[in-house]
Amino acid sequence: MIKFYHLPISANSRRVWIALLEKMLAFEEVLLKLDSDQYQPEFLELNPFHHVPVLVDDGFRVV
């Protein structure tokens, strides 16, 4: 299943969120707080630019 790393109040995240909902794709949400979560090593491995949103689908990342 697609993993969607985001923060609901992020406008950039919302664009992707709306697309996922419009396409009726199943996804699992991973909520981040942008006061430190984006700098955690596990997240930096996904996106070295420390930005949300990030999509991961079966190992394929979109940042």
Residue from 1, 34, 44, 62 in contact with ligand GSH (CB under 6 A): 34
Q: Which is nearer to ligand GSH, 25 or 62 (CB)?
A: 62
AA identity, residue 22: E
Query: Binding string, 9-28, against ligand GSH, x = CB under 6 A?
Result: -xxx----------------
Helix (H, G, I), strand (E, B) or coil at 29: strand
Shortest distance, position 12 Cβ to ligand GSH, whole Å: 4
Quick one: how far is CA 52 from the chain centroid?
5
Q: Is the peptide bond before 53 cis (omega within 30 degrees of 0)?
A: yes
